[in-house]
Amino acid sequence: MRPLEDVKILDFTHVLAGPFGTRVLADMGADVVKIMSAVRETGRTQQDSPYYLMWNRNKRSLAFDMRHEESRQLARRLADEADVVIDNFSLGVLDRWNLGYEIVSETNPGVIYVQMSGMGATGPWSDFVTYAPTIHGLGGLTYLTGVPGRGDIGIGYSYNDHQAGLHGAIAVLAALEGRRSTGRGQRVDLSQFEVGVNFAGLALLDWFGNGRSASPVTNREPYDNNAPHGCYPCAGAASDALVDERWVAIACMSDDQWCRFRNVLGDPEWARDPALATTRGRSEAAEILDQRIAEWTKGLTAEVVMERCQAGGVPAGVVQTGLDLCERDPQLKLSGFLAEIEEPHPMAGRTYADRLPIYFERTPCDEYRPAPVVGQHNAEVLSEWLGMSEEDVRRGEEAGYLS
């Protein structure tokens, strides 16, 4: 039995942030019922989209066309049975459907509502529509993770969506624990924008404490003087194409690690310079140091550099590609982190799972089902949650409000 198998979650989330959070909870055994509609299928929400397939495994699907009053009434009844109702719509959507917390909590006082809007429920920007790239920009992540002189380079994937999803999952768990002692649920307001700003914490402290404005620093640490600390080019590229370049990350975090790295390098004469014996000296000579190290790494494959450094007590890792992670990484292969889902998807066929990276000794979370198609579990869920008959469900599907 998985840890959350007695938890019922009514899931109105879409795209990535919300679905990632509910995927974590579903992996842990929660009965996550995803409200979907064929009339709203576009782009990343299409049932056979890799994006949708990735973030919606282990869930069940109900097909509701919320333009119909009958759909809204059924959703209202489901909310009365739910432990958790979660959405990442813009503000006010559930309220307009008469599904808001104030209404539902009157008949279901134990219900927990988690609202994962872009900017939170209050403030001058609360009605903004957001996606991860806009949150990255507003929260400072694009600027801080860029390179000097370029304001258009930053995080290249939806980092903040993942972080917001994890915050949403933690919020659910915390609210469930709070309900154990109070007997009541609560509304939880999660601002994805503030999640992003939270990751700029050191930059904010530097501004408020010292009046210094943070700036992009590429691979160097902005608040420590550790060196060498960066990514270095290696041999072994399959072609001259940028995508085939091979790199290794090396981070010497102390004078002792620098001494160890000197031994890995073969203790060359340039590395014996007394100015490099201290953290300050190496930091001041960082550019020249990086050039020297790059001359060495270019003659070796990234894997060899990593293995030599690690054997010598120096933190280092190959800058891995997707192909490396899926087919070459021995650590992931041994743990079975990436595996095919046994049950084929009705539309996509074979699909794969990156397993939950948390291992429970007594309640293992190792069950993986493919993402559902729209309405796949109409009869199943409506029977279990509301006691509806198959005939009632069939009539709803024919009438169009279960679609």
Q: How many residues would you count in the chain?
A: 403
Cα–Cα distance list, 396 to 79, 324, 372, 383, 390 (Å) = 19, 48, 19, 13, 10
Cα–Cα distance, 18 to 86 (Å, whole number) = 8
**Residues 49, 93: Cα–Cα separation, whole Å:** 25
Q: How far apart are the first and last CA of the chain?
A: 32
Distances in whole angstroms, Cα of residue 107 to Cα of each of 76, 102, 162: 10, 10, 33
With b meaning 16 or more CB within 10 Å and e meaning fewer, what string describes 82-109?
A: bbbbbbbbebebbeebebbbeebbeebe
Residue 89 tokens, joined: 């719509």
Catalytic hit among 31, 65, 87, 161: 161
Q: How far is CA 147 from CA 150, 155, 222, 250, 251, in A?
A: 6, 11, 12, 19, 19
Q: Is 161 a catalytic residue?
A: yes
Burial of 322 (0-12, 13-18, 19+ CB in 10 A): exposed
Query: Are the C-beta atoms of residues 276 and 282 closer than 8 Å to each other?
Result: yes
Using an 8 Å Cβ cutoff, are 139 and 129 in contact? no
Tell which residue, 290, 329, 285, 289, has the closest CA to residue 306. 329
Q: Which positions are catalytic?
A: 161
